[in-house]
Chain A
Amino acid sequence: MWEALEQMGWVKTLGSTGWMYSTVAVTHYLTMFWFIGSIAVVDLRVMGIAARRRGIRELAEQLFPWAWIGFTLAVISGFLMFATDAGDWAPDKVFHVKLTLIAVSAVFAFIVQRGARRWAQDPAVPRAAKIIALISLLLWVATILSASEIPALEGLG
Chain B
Amino acid sequence: MHDTLVAFAKWLEATPWGLMTRESIWAYPFVQLIHFTGLSIWLGTNFALDLRLLGVGSRRSTAAQLAQELFAWNWIGFAIVLTGGFMLFSGIATAFIANVAFQWKLGMFVPLALIWHVVVQRKAREWGQTSDTPGIARFAGLTEILLWICVITAAVQIPNH
Contact surface of A with B, Cβ cutoff 8 Å: 18, 22, 25-26, 29-30, 32-41, 44, 50-54, 58-59, 61-63, 65-66, 140-141, 144-145, 148-149, 152
Contacts and interface: CB of A to CB of B under 8 A. Distances in A.
Contacts, number: 110
Contacts of A141: 33, 37
24 contacts: A22-B160, A32-B40, A33-B36, A33-B39, A34-B43, A36-B44, A38-B44, A41-B41, A41-B73, A44-B73, A51-B69, A53-B68, A54-B69, A58-B61, A61-B58, A62-B58, A66-B48, A141-B37, A145-B29, A145-B30, A148-B32, A148-B36, A152-B25, A152-B28
Contacts of A58: 58, 60-61
B70 A51 contact: yes
A23 B20 CA distance: 32
A104 B33 CA distance: 19
Interface of B: 25-26, 28-30, 32-33, 36-37, 39-45, 47-48, 51-52, 57-58, 60-61, 65-66, 68-70, 72-73, 77, 148-149, 152-153, 155-157, 160
